[in-house]
Structures are given as C-alpha cells and as structure tokens.
Amino acid sequence: MIFLDTCFIVALANKSDGNHKNAQFLFKQIQTEDLVISNVIIIEVLNLLRKHKNGKLNKEVYMIMKDNFKIQDENLNLYDNALRIQLKYKGKLGFADCIILETMKRLNITKIASFDEHFDGKEGVIRIF
C-alpha cells in the first residue's frame, strides 16, 4: 500500500504543475499497488484545483479518486492522535500532514508518494518521489 499526498495528486492532475511529469512517471510505477488517501486529501485536492477548467477539473479528479483509490475515513480519535503528532513536532507539520501520518500508522503504510519534504525523516515513513 502507498499513501498518496495532496501535492502528488495535484501534480498528476495539473499539467502546468512543475512536478507533473515526475508525478506521471511515478504513477506509472505505483499504479498496480493499493493506493490510499483519506478524506483530508480529497478536501485539499479539490480546494487547490477548483479554479482549473472553471471547476470542471474537480469533478474529473474527484471521480478518479473515488473510483480508484482506497479512501480512509477520519474520526475524532484519529484527529486526537494527529494533534499529538503535531505537538510532537512542535507545530512544524500542518494538521493535514499529521492526519496523514496517523492514518499511515494505523494502516501500517510506510510509503508515501509526495513531493513534500516535510515527510522526510519521519518515523516509519519512506517518501517516494
């Protein structure tokens, strides 16, 4: 299983993103794996892509995420633990990244497809890019 970060999905969907070609190349390598996202990823991706194609890209990307990725639901217990992670790193990680780390821990996922260096050096996490 591989967790997909927001920046990876945005780069994959947005042809003008500086990491678009890298995302396409990486996706070809990992597409046979179980690809996992959480609710926060859906929200972040749709917020970032809302202005592309007058909002029409959101519908396309949403359907791709919904139909092709395993979506992990979030709950208050997960948020409680994510907050502990945020405190552990003294606020240097955004809450969404902490949710990702907690979700990965719960699902025993060690790999994350991301262009975000914030995941480097985090316990039990291997960033692939």
The CATH number of whichever domain residue 80 belongs to comes to 3.40.50.1010
**What letter would DSSP give residue 121?**
T
pLDDT, tens only, 100-117: 999 999 999 999 999 999
pTM: 0.94
Calpha distance 65→67 (Å, rounded): 6
Which CA distances in Å does 32 have to 2, 26, 37, 108? 10, 11, 15, 18
For residue 57 the two structure tokens come to 């890209």
Q: What is the secondary structure of 19-69 as a DSSP string?
A: THHHHHHHHHHHTTS-EEEEHHHHHHHHHHHTTGGGGHHHHHHHHHHHHHS
Calpha distance 3→54 (Å, rounded): 28
pLDDT of 55 reads: 82
pLDDT, tens only, 40-96: 999 999 999 998 888 889 999 999 999 999 999 999 999 999 999 999 999 999 999
Longest dimension (CA), the chain: 40
Q: Report how many domains make up the chain.
A: 1
pLDDT of 26 reads: 98
Range of the domain at 119: 2-128
